[in-house]
Structure 1
Amino acid sequence: MKNFYVFILCLFASVAGFAQNAPFDNNVYKHEIKSVEFYNSKKAASFPAIDLGGRETVTLGFDDLSGASRTFNYTIQHCDANWNPSRLSPAEYLESFTDDRLNDYTYSSGTFQKYTHYEVKIPNRNIIPKVSGNYILKVYEDGDPNNLILTRRLYVVGKRVSMSANIISSNNVALRRTNQKVNFTIDYSGLAVQNPNTDIRAFLMQNARIETGFMNNVPTYIRGTQLVYNDVNINDFPGRNEFRHFDTRTLKLNSERISKIYKDTANTVMLLGDPNRNLPNYTLLYDIDGKFFILNQDGNDARRDADYAHMYFSLFISKSPDDGAPYIVGQFNDYKIDDRSKLTFDSRGRWYTDLLLKQGVYDYQYIWVNKATNKPDDTILEGNYFETENEYQLLVYYRQTGSRYEQLVGYSLLNTAKP
């Protein structure tokens, strides 16, 4: 009887949560929360996917620059392939508690900028996903789920399909110098599929960027238990360009792309000016596909002794505020196009901004937003080339007939440089 009441309470809490307009995206909701990392614990900055029931974990880490003593809780909620809440109660997708407190934290040491670093690994003794699928991780303050601090997308994979894929140039002759086309096949022989055209769908994205993704709802054709996706009009991505980057692992000397470093009551780093990279031909550069790593060569533990610096970016392009505005994005700010990532135009004809960032290695790029159309374009300032090295994440979802949720039954990481 006790378990019955617990189930009813969990179901009620779940329904109440569904009634809220909760955001299911990677977001930071408080300006004092910085340097959010979320990755498979095997490798920093990796895609946050883990196997269901395995020993893998994901690591969440972030800094609080407020200096206050705060109480943070976290939970995970099951979602469908489109990041809408599943029709499940927490008791149906969690093995243990519905939420937990963030108890693992440490204070910064020897830094100009004081902060508190928080960290947690999932699954743990208190939070264990029971079924595969998309999960949204929510961190909130003072036990109030509406007082969100941050959200992250988590992928729990119950592998039940096999996949093969290849990356070629676009079938469209006009796009062959710029685009990369991904063809793939899914073998679902391990699933009880009644209608392959409706029971299975696959999501493909470039460099873990949701906004680049294609949802494949119907295969091009079916061959036995294999679903083939190779239509000439699907999964055709702009190759874009390698990311720009900078390195602040040490603040004692100028590294590549750093012009000057000033130290007073805070660290200030002036980067070399960035040109327009939309050139006729591709230039080979090594990048980390938009990621960032928190690192400190001068300390022992970057989580607590890496310092923050005001990073000054300047962009030299022949565009005026009458045309639109550029924004600086990367995984470090979840590719958000907002006031915090917008550059300002000055009287000398350059665009500039400064960002408070923790020491490390960062990839970034510029997106131009046209004033007339309000549409973002990430190739007009960066270029677009077939030769660009990119990662692709392929996720396969399955909804069993009569089921109230979608399972994540396959995940594959593809790379243009590793066929």
Structure 2
Amino acid sequence: MNIMVIGRGGREHSLVQKLAASKQTEKIYAAPGNAGMKEAVCVAIEEGDHDALVSFAKENDIHLTVVGPEVPLLEGIVDHFQANDLKVFGPTKDAALIEGSKHFAKQMMDKYDIPTAEYQAFSDLVEAKAYIKGKGAPIVIKADGLAAGKGVVVAETLEQALEAADSMLGEGQFGEASSEIVVEEFLAGDEFSLMAFVHGPNVYPMIPAKDHKRAFDGDEGPNTGGMGAFAPVPGLASSSYDTAVESIVRPVAEAMVQEERPFTGILYAGLIETDKGPKVIEFNARFGDPETQVVLPLLKNDLEQVFLDVMDGKDPELQWSEESCAGVVVASSGYPGGYVKGRPLPALETSDSAFLVHAGTALENGTYVSDGGRVLLVGSKGNDLSRALDCAYEALRPLHANEDFFYRRDIGRSSITSSSGSDE
């Protein structure tokens, strides 16, 4: 089979790497892909050019297209492919709204009694500020629409919360995405991510993972698209995982069917383990990034067959390695703010255990250079999380003192410390 992966980041490179291991795969195309995707043929078609992507799929006998990023999903690329009788894995525009509007997702959770934080939505700045002052801090301010992972402010003070409301609603920080904001109660607890293959009411959950959103060590600095991740989560009780599947992910999939927005694709639940059990922070309508980069290496199944089984309504019977997998993101200095592209990357030595996933790289005169905020993910598998992390950080040594790039040096460390004696 010929397969096309739409997207250009680390998540898509991880998908390409896993699909390349499939015995059924004849040829993989990535549109537009990135310089590091040596396992695929990169095609110079932008993710938003739906007509060109459909034409390419027809002309090149593409049997299955997998959509990586959220923007084309919200723009209806799956609907476009389906209208042309092309097999595509991802949710329709109507179903992808679960990520495209945080207000919509909250309304769904309210209606179907799915546990989440108390909230109110606002499009009026004066009303929003009055509500925030009445609730006090800490409190969470979210842009309603897509904001590349940066539209969330966890305000520890009232001043920070009011400033976030001003930026989003008053100044239009994220354009149309912040023309409405959602103000949520702050939930204390440990966060984790749970992705699932979904087709209508059928849900096939993956192993849990944990992402690190803040830019700097100690969970300091601004939110990013993700600075590192690991899977599974040592401190997460098996009972909490089961509750998350049965009380959150399955009910949401069934609710989408009830709402006549049946979901096919990857449903991502960003969750937090509170003293009252797991609650929803957010839903995404696609593979998480960088969680995909540490979950897929632990999947024993042929990923192409999994996609086909799920779309055919068959149980893919997911099987998972007993190992741990960890990944550390290398970012351009200045990210998630302004940064300079074109900085040369030193050669990173990988072993049988360590691997590289390219996100924002380009090739200039045979040398990889930076071409984005998040540049690479250096990952590794190991018998446990500690060994996986040690191997990944060892591979990062050539970048340790490089001022053009930075990476967090504490990915997964708190989970190693707190996992002793946990109920798994």
TM-score interval, smaller chain: under 0.3
Tell me which protein shows more strand as a share of its residues: 1
Say which structure is richer in helix.
2
TM-score normalized by the length of structure 2: 0.26
Choose 1 or 2 for highest CA Rg: 1
